[in-house]
Structure 1
Amino acid sequence: MGHVVLLGDSIFDNARYVPDRPPVIEQVRRGLPPGWTGTLVAVDGHTVEDVAAQVPRVPGGASHLVVSVGGNNALMASGLLREPAATVGAALAVLAEALGDFRTAYDTMLGRVRALGKPTAVCTIYDAIPVLGAAERAALAGFNDIISRAAARAGVPLIDLRVICDAADDYSPLSPIEPSVVGGAKIAEAICRLVRAHDFTKRDCAVYV
């Protein structure tokens, strides 16, 4: 029987943002094949670096790991967008430095997760958040480039939340950066479809939307 484990941040640990409605982990459990189960080890507010503390909590019987993390790293770096710069090139150089730090942290995180020896998938950071401005979306593209390249190098499938959560009602009215029950259902459906269909015996970075 399968056992899907969700690691990362509030994309998966969204219960507080959908009161009286099923959070992502419950939606995943409902969509899995009969006899399968799901476990949540993701923690609201965690960053890429924090996943190291989640890894020891992954049950030994896990069959699939799905990681969605990085949005809080991008959020913490968003202050750079308000810093003065003499030219667009100078501003991009500052952003590139932050992205370099993120690349190192993300590669380290993914290595730790994959060291568990379980079939693993990762998620991009969604960017259709209603309150997000053009500059934030442009900066997020750099973070997502790092995630997609890491997935390609590792040969793990990628769930592209940018495509999946593309409507305003995919985001919680309590916090516009968190998934609503509608967005959560879309995310859960993609996870369930991936674990049913993907051939993890191959190093195949297929994209699921």
Structure 2
Amino acid sequence: MRAVDGAVSGDVERQLGTIAGDADYLIVSAGGNDGLPNISLLREAARSVAEVMGKLTAVYEDFAARYGEMVSAIMEQRLPVALCTIYDGRFPDPRE
């Protein structure tokens, strides 16, 4: 029960330091908040699909690297783990 509202995948490693010594397993829900800093991409104009895909690829590669580092830190705990990403965005602009 170490969840922190607004935390991103990079925050999980710090949270792992607070795991109880008698923990039997880990359930980690992370990743949804990582995308929020890039929400402005949905509002940007683009000249082509290729331009949009290039921008999304950069976001994906950054997220994949950070998420991979998080998973590695979790696996070092040597406990059974369930990884979840739960995110139900409620944005004021219905186009988002």
TM-score > 0.5, shorter chain as reference: yes
Instruction: Describe the shift of the 1:130–1:80 C-alpha distance in structure 2 as closer, same or farther (beyond 3 A).
Output: closer
User: 1:156-167 to 2 correspondence within 5 Å?
Assistant: none
Equivalent residues in 2 for 1:162-201, closer than 5 Å: none
Q: 2:17 aligns with which of 51, 56, 64?
A: 56
**2:38 corresponds to which of 74, 77, 99:** 77
Residues 125-136 of structure 1 correspond to what in structure 2 (within 5 A)? 125-127=86-88, 129=89, 131=91, 133=94, 136=96
1:93, distance to aligned residue in structure 2 (A): 1.1
For residue 47 of structure 2, the aligned residue among 62, 69, 86 is 86
| 1:124 to 1:102, Cα distance in 2 relative to 1, 3 A | same
Q: Secondary structure at the match of 1:66?
A: strand
Distance 1:130 1:51 in 2: 24
Aligned to 1:97: 58
1:25-64 aligned within 5 A: 40-64=1-25
| Shift in Å, 1:126 | 3.5
C-alpha deviation, 1:124, in angstroms: 2.6
Question: Deviations along 1:169-204, whole A, 9 cap, x unmatched?
Answer: xxxxxxxxxxxxxxxxxxxxxxxxxxxxxxxxxxxx
Unmatched 5+ stretches in structure 1: 1-39, 137-209
Q: RMSD value over aligned CA atoms?
A: 1.8
- Aligned AA for 1:57? T
Shift, 1:84, TM fit: 2.4
Query: Paired residue for 1:65?
Result: 26
User: By how many angstroms is 1:108 displaced?
Assistant: 0.5
Q: How far apart in 2 are the matches of 1:97 and 1:62?
A: 37
Aligned equivalents of 2:42, 2:76: Cα separation in 1: 35
Seen in structure 2, the aligned counterparts of structure 1 residues 125 and 89 have a Cα distance that, compared at 3 Å, is farther
Matched, 1:106 2:67: yes
Partner of 1:174: none
**Structure 1 runs, 4 residues or longer, greater than 6 Å off:** none
Deviation at 1:133, TM superposition (A): 4.7
Between the two proteins, the alignment pairs up a number of residues equal to: 95
